Structures are given as C-alpha cells and as structure tokens.
Structure 1
C-alpha cells in the first residue's frame, strides 16, 4: 500500500508544478484543486481520514467558492465570459480529470482494503487535533483568521466600482459656459 502513497505524492507534486507554470488563472485553479485532492489522499493513506476530509472541505471547496465570489464581485462582462468559455475547453479539463481519476482509483482501493491506513502509523482522533489547534497553536489560528479577514476586506475593496455622484447643483454649474 506504500505504492498508493507514492502515487498520490507524485500527483500532488505534478499538480503543484502545473499550478505554478500555468499562464491562465483558471487552468492553475483546476490543478490547484487536484493538488489539494492529492494531499487529501496522502492523509487518507496515512490513516488520518478526518484531516483528509478537512482538506477537501476547507481547501478544495473553499478555493472554488472563493474563486466564484471573486468572479461575481468583479462584475465581468460578456467579452470576459466568452474568453472564459474559450479557456475551459475539454482539452483543458483532460489533464486534471485524468489525475483525479487516478486519485479516485486509489481511494477505492483504500476503501476496499478496509484497514483505513496504508502505511503504519498512529491514528489521530479529531479531539486531539482540536486540542492541539486551540491549545499551544491558538495564536497561529487567530493570526490565520486575521490574515483571511484582511484578504476578504482587500478583495471587497478592489472589487468596488467607484462612481462619481455629483450633486445636482454641481452638475448644472458645470454645464453653464
């Protein structure tokens, strides 16, 4: 079962390199989601299903929601929508889809095995993770929360469309020669 760990690790590294080297942001986002799914498979093969599920829900899910939020906030017009359709051709989806199918096959093998852990190690219960995060690492968790909040405020500020609304008397004065 170490082979599944190494395959997941290879897919994670390959997808991460593809994220860094892609020119189009949508292509990079697709590979980023594949990278997160591969890391979740690594955690699953190590016997940490809770962390694997958190990886999928928080990272892969939140990244997609954040991307949709940014697209909605920027108020893209019809030209950008047409360009996005051109970027998302089936050829673009082929690479990430193949990598995800390999990860799906690995997950099926792990689930059919029934043991839950491919490599020897200790299982970490969710309570221990929570006690660790909100115990000695409380300041790091709080700082990460502040960083995320600053990112959201910055994205909202960048996405604002500033319109100049002049008072009606100012508009009339400017039209008088």
Structure 2
C-alpha cells in the first residue's frame, strides 16, 4: 500500500511538471487529467474514497470540460486545427498514456490484489456529510471565491476570443477599400 502511494505521488508530480512545461494547451490538459487521477489514487491509498471520487468527478471531469469549453470559445482558425492534427502523433500522446497505464495498474492492484484497510491512519473514513458541512460551514467563503475565480476566467477567455474576432474583422474591412481603389486605378 505504501509503495502504491509513492508511485501515485511520483506520477502526480511528474504529470504536474509536464502540465507546466507544455506549450500546447490540449497537451497540458491531458497531463492535468493524469495528475488529477494520480491525486485521486493518493486519496484512495490514504483511506479517503469519497475525496478520491470527488477528485475524479469534480476536477478530472468538470474542470477539464470547463477548460475545453473555454478553448472552444477562443474559436481556433483552420490553420490551428490543421496544426493540432499534425501534433496528434504517437510520440506526443505516449507520455500521458504511459502515466495513465501506471495509475490503472495501481488501481487494479489496490482493488483486486491488495486488501484495502478498513480504517485509515486517522481513525475512520471521511463521509460525504462531514465534507459538505466543512465546505459550506467555515469554508463557505473559500468555496464562493473559487466559484467567482472560475467565472472570471470564463468571462476573460470569452472577451479575449471576441476581441480576436473584432481585430480580424476590422483588418478585413480595411483591406476591402484598398482593393476597390486598386481596381479603379
């Protein structure tokens, strides 16, 4: 069990470093999913299955989908799509696939071979009610501030994408009168 914890922690650190160092947003997002899954395995080894499930559902699911929608709102051009297709070569997705396979092997080991401890080192499982009371009790301000921060990110991404369209539209409008003048001459 301890070895599984250290392997998952190493995968989480390595995947997080890869998130920071990637230039392409989609590649960084793939490593981010691997990092979230590795943290979920860490929670599972520590005896907090509810937190592991929240990590997968909320972070690896909802937050990643939110980031994908923000990328879609930025409205990539045809050249960007072609460039992304060129990047989808096996040498680029082997890293996230390999790290995900390590996590899958650990999860199979935990669920099938190793016996999960009945209680973690803290003395008991953390149930959903206790987490809910903690989040919406003394930490309600932090939950609300994180929601506002996410909304600000969405509005900012929309604004940036919209400004890009305005600049292109203005550029095309300026080019049309020049074409008409050159056709008259």
TM-score, normalization by structure 1: 0.84
- Deviations 1:95-150 (CA, angstroms, capped at 9, x unpaired): 11111111011111111234256963331001000000011111111111111111
Matched with 1:152 is 154
Query: Where in structure 2 are there 5+ consecutive unaligned residues?
Result: 171-185
Matched with 2:15 is 15
Matched with 1:130 is 132
Q: Detail structure 1 runs of 4+ shifted over 6 Å in the superposition.
A: none
Question: Counterparts of 1:58 and 1:147 in 2: how far apart (Å)?
Answer: 16
Q: Is the 8 Å Cα contact of residues 40 and 53 (structure 1) preserved in structure 2?
A: yes
Question: Counterparts of 2:38 and 2:25 in 1: how far apart (Å)?
Answer: 20
Equivalences, count:
165
RMSD: 2.1
- Deviation larger for 56-65 or 118-127: 118-127
- Deviations 1:34-68 (CA, angstroms, capped at 9, x unpaired): 11110011001111111111111111122431233
Matched with 1:142 is 144
- Deviation larger for 34-43 or 72-81: 72-81
Question: Counterparts of 1:107 and 1:95 in 2: how far apart (Å)?
Answer: 19
- The Cα of 1:23 is off from its aligned counterpart by 2.6
Question: Counterparts of 2:120 and 2:99 in 1: how far apart (Å)?
Answer: 22
Query: Where in structure 1 are there 5+ consecutive unaligned residues?
Result: 165-177
The structure whose residues are more often helix, as a share, is 2
Matched with 1:68 is 68
Do the aligned partners of residues 88 and 63 (structure 1) sit closer, same or farther apart at CA in structure 2, a change above 3 Å counting? farther
- Deviations 1:67-87 (CA, angstroms, capped at 9, x unpaired): 331232122222111101112
Matched with 2:174 is none
